[in-house]
Structures are given as structure tokens and as C-alpha cells.
Amino acid sequence: MSIRLSDGTEIPIEMHKIRIVQKTRLAPVRERLRAMEEAGYNTFLLRSRSIFLDMLTDSGTNAMSDNQLAAMMQSDDAYAGSESFYRLEAAVKEIFGYEYVLPCHQGRAAEHLLAKTFVKPGDIVPMNYHFTTTKAHFDMAGGKVLELYTPEALKAESACPFKGNMDLGRLKAAIDKAGPKSVSFVRMEATTNLIGGQPFSLQNLRDVKALIEPLGIFLVVDGSLISENAYFIRQREAGYEKTSIRDIVREIMSIADLCYLSARKSASVRGGMIATNRKDLHEAIRPWLPLYEGFYTYGGMSSKEIEAMAVGIREMTEVEVAGASADAIKYFVGLLLEKGVPVVTPAGGLACHVDAMRFIPHVPQSEYPAGALAAAMFIVSGIRGMERGSVSMDRDKDGNDVPSDMELLRLAVPRRVYTMSHFQYAADRLKWLYEHRELIGGLAFYEEPPVLRFFGGKMNAKGNWGLPLAEAFEKHFGPDC
Ligand SMILES: Cc1ncc(COP(=O)(O)O)c(C=O)c1O
């Protein structure tokens, strides 16, 4: 939630009390430089003990609620027929209005099951934007991911409230070209992770459904950030200002044929699921669950996490929870705009996204500006962000780099974890970095996995630019900062 102060300023206000904390430490800049070098300029390969604030991701890093922790104590560890599963099933029915639910260990497991069941070689899979693991699974099944976003989606600076909308004209043209039988399904991601956490509108979702339903194509929603998408609909879509998040989530689900999600995000727990009212879809996927994940009633999740998920999907529809990170991100983005740092606007759902193309235009895309900015940010602040640019794109079949549509440093805001002073610190260090941006250079791979290279790849800083950057920082702030 945000609250207005007497002078008119709006600030995000925590609608919770902090009762358990984790200690953190700000290592000196030279130590951070060493850690970054050892990690091959890849923030994924840093050890947690070198990190001051971890803004790598909001996945599995949210603060859980007292009610979630309490629910874990009543878990039923039965291999088959666990009562914990039936409590989850009841919560899914209550919140999503869906009859059938298949738990799985996380979002990418759901994607694997969907790919295995529905994506045939030569198929197309239209979507508003891809996510890394989504694309990898659908590609591996022989499908072709088509990203049919509107022109506004890739404009870093924009006032468009729904940059996650599907372009209906492009969707129709793609289906006409491929033929409806070659469309596995249409996927809509609730806040497009890789291009700024941007929502789709309910109207757009309805229009997509109206177009594909008569053709026998079903609609899948990736609901990993469903509560944030619903929160933006409430704030930005005419007619929904007074609708509860719960009712908006329910309406999204009534339009979709199937929803899968990583419960590590909106639901603040470590797990995933696939849910639907369509018996045919459910029965097509179900046989694969025990083979790849685990028995039908646990699907690779611990029963404790299943209990916490049942509570999490109810709590995520409370407006204070749905808005917990969205309002903090809005504040964080506002601070950066005031300081002239180029960021993606409007503020999105999971992170503050810094536009590396405008931040360091002197670093060409072939030298991975978003990766370089993520490394530089860590060196000057101890804050770990994530590269969301060309490093996150795997090479094509001929071994060529695939330049990403955008080059973003993603500073994720896990729900209920960081406070205003953390955002002020982060914004200050980014401002300092922006003022010294000429010190940041490019990166080159020296170790590169064949798939999802951003997780394990290692790079060199071209010209060893990390050292002069750390020296300049040390000169300004002293050796202990
Ligand atoms: C939109 C979206 N879909 C799928 C996934 C994959 O989920 P998981 O990390 O739980 O495998 C993520 C993870 O970040 C995501 O953001």
C-alpha cells in the first residue's frame, strides 16, 4: 500500500510487522570486486555471504507470513492421499474457481509438463512475451515461440498502462498462417517478466479468448505474478477501481482455460502448480505427473510447502499483499527518475528495471551491457541484480548470439523483505554509477553452457574495467564502503 504524507508525498507503507530478521553484511568494495571476478562477472555465481542486498529475484525469496509458517506445522506427509493436498485443492477452488489441480515442484516443471503434453514439433506457441524457461521447454519440444506484443511493449520509457497486452492483429495473422491445428495453445504471462514486469488488461485477455475459442485453441495464463497483474488492473483499468483483487483473479481464471504458475512469486512459497476446469486438459497432463514430478497429491513438493501454498494463494489476493512489492517498486523507480537514471516505465510488477542501453550506450550489445551493468552495480553497492538481456538469450542453431529486445538490469523486490532505506541506498549507488558510467566496459564469455547460459556462464571484463571502477568508488567513499 502507499500512503500520502501531510506534505502530499506518497510513500510505500508496510502493512505488516517484522518479527524475524536475517542479518546481512556490507563487504568492502575490494572484497566485492574479488567476489565478482571469481564469479566470472555473473551475479548468479556469487556466494550469498558476499551480498548485502539480494535483488537477484523475487522467486522463493519473499518473506512468508506467520499463517503460512503455522500451516506448515499441520502438514500430512502421506505419500499418497495427503490431507495437505486436499487443503490446497480447496484453496484453488475457492480462489481460482478451478476444480482440478496438479502440484509440481516449481514453475518450470509445469512448463515441462505442458510442453510434453501439448507442444508438437512444428507447432507455434503464441504469447505476449517469452520467459527463459518457458521458451527453452517449448523449443526443446520442437515448438516455435512467437512473441506477439504491441509496439509499446519494447519502449523502455512509456506511459502505456498495459504493456503486457497481446497484439490481436499479429495473433490473428500468426494463426491464419500456421493454421489453428498447429497452435499448441496461446500463453499470456501475467506481468511480462523479461520486459519490465508489465501487466495485461482484462479486456485484452477477453479479446484473445474471443479470437481463439471458436478455432478450438485454448488459453493458458502463466499466473506466477497473478496478484500483481490483478493489482495493476485494479489501479489502471477503467471500471475495476473498486473490484477486489480476489474478484479480479477469479475473473482472469474464468477467461483462461488453464493456469500454471511458479508459486515462488505471488504465493510466497517454494512450489508450483497447474490448475484448470477442463477435464480433458487435466487428464492429458495428469499421467505424466508421477513420472516427472511425484505422485498426484504432492508432485515433487514437500507437504509443508503445499500447506503454505494453500495459505499463500489466499493471502496473495489481499490488497496489502498484492501491492506489497508493486508499491515499493513504484517508489524505487520514482527515486531513480528523480536522479535521472534511465529506468523502464511505468513501474512494473516484480522489479525495478534499469535500461542498460541508455545507461551505458558506449557498450555494444555484443558485449552484454545488461550483464556489465549488473556486475558494476554489485561492485559499487553489494546489491545483486540480474542480467535480463542478451546473456539471457541462448545462441541460435548456428551458434550466433541472439540480441535481446531489451538490455535490462533487473533489481527484484521480494515481497515484504526490504525497506525504504534499502531503496534509497540502492538509488544513491545507481546515481553514483550513472555519473561514472564511462568506467563500465563490456564482457566476453570464457565459459558457456549450451542451454540457459545465463545461469552458469562465466565472463571476463574486457580491459579489466572492474579495477578502475572499484578504485574510483574507493576514492569517493573510502575503503570500508
Ligand atoms: C513468468 C514466469 N514463469 C515461469 C517461471 C519459472 O518458474 P520457476 O523459477 O519456479 O521454475 C518464472 C520464474 O521466474 C516466471 O517469472
- Residue 131 known to be catalytic: yes
Rounded CA gap, 264 and 283, in Å?
25
Residue with the nearest Cα to atom 8 of ligand 1?
Answer: 107
Q: Ligand 1 centre and the CA of 386: distance in Å?
A: 14
Pocket perturbation via mutation, ligand 1, pick of 57, 108, 221 by most ligand atoms within 8 A of CB: 108
Is residue 106 within 6 Å of ligand 1 at its C-beta?
yes
- Residue 206 known to be catalytic: no
Rounded CA gap, 324 and 313, in Å?
15
Tally the C-alpha atoms within 13 A of residue 312's C-alpha that lie toward its C-beta: 29
Report helix angle 29-38 to 369-381, nearest 10: 140
> 140, 116 in Cβ contact below 8 A?
no
Rounded CA gap, 306 and 76, in Å?
10
CA-atom Rg of the chain in angstroms = 22
- Measured from the Cβ of residue 291, the count of other Cβ atoms closer than 10 Å reads 9
Whole-angstrom CA distances from 152 to 47, 128, 157, 238 are 37, 12, 9, 19
- Residue 243, classed as helix, strand or coil, is coil
Q: Residue 205: its pLDDT value, please?
A: 98
Is residue 264 within 6 Å of ligand 1 at its C-beta?
yes
Residue with the nearest Cα to atom 9 of ligand 1?
Answer: 107
- Residue 317 known to be catalytic: no
Is residue 108 within 6 Å of ligand 1 at its C-beta?
yes
Is residue 222 within 6 Å of ligand 1 at its C-beta?
yes
- Residue 123 known to be catalytic: no
Position 355, amino acid: D
> 372, 438 in Cβ contact below 8 A?
no
Residues 24, 66, 79, 428: which is the catalytic one?
79
Rounded CA gap, 209 and 331, in Å?
34
Pure H helices in 98-201: 107-118, 132-140, 168-178
- Residue 66 known to be catalytic: no
- Residue 222 known to be catalytic: yes
Q: Residue 138: its pLDDT value, please?
A: 98
> 314, 266 in Cβ contact below 8 A?
no
Determine the Cα angle at 374 with ends 369 and 380, to 5°: 120
Q: Ligand 1 centre and the CA of 265: distance in Å?
A: 8
Rounded CA gap, 407 and 414, in Å?
21
Is residue 128 within 6 Å of ligand 1 at its C-beta?
no
Residues 222, 257, 327, 394: which is the catalytic one?
222
Is residue 59 within 6 Å of ligand 1 at its C-beta?
yes
Q: What is the pTM of this model?
A: 0.96
Rounded CA gap, 332 and 420, in Å?
8
Is residue 133 within 6 Å of ligand 1 at its C-beta?
yes
Q: Residue 414: its pLDDT value, please?
A: 97
Sites in the chain below the pLDDT cut of 50 = none
Q: Residue 428: its pLDDT value, please?
A: 98
Grid cell in block for residue 361: 550506450
**Residues paired with 72 in a beta bridge:** none
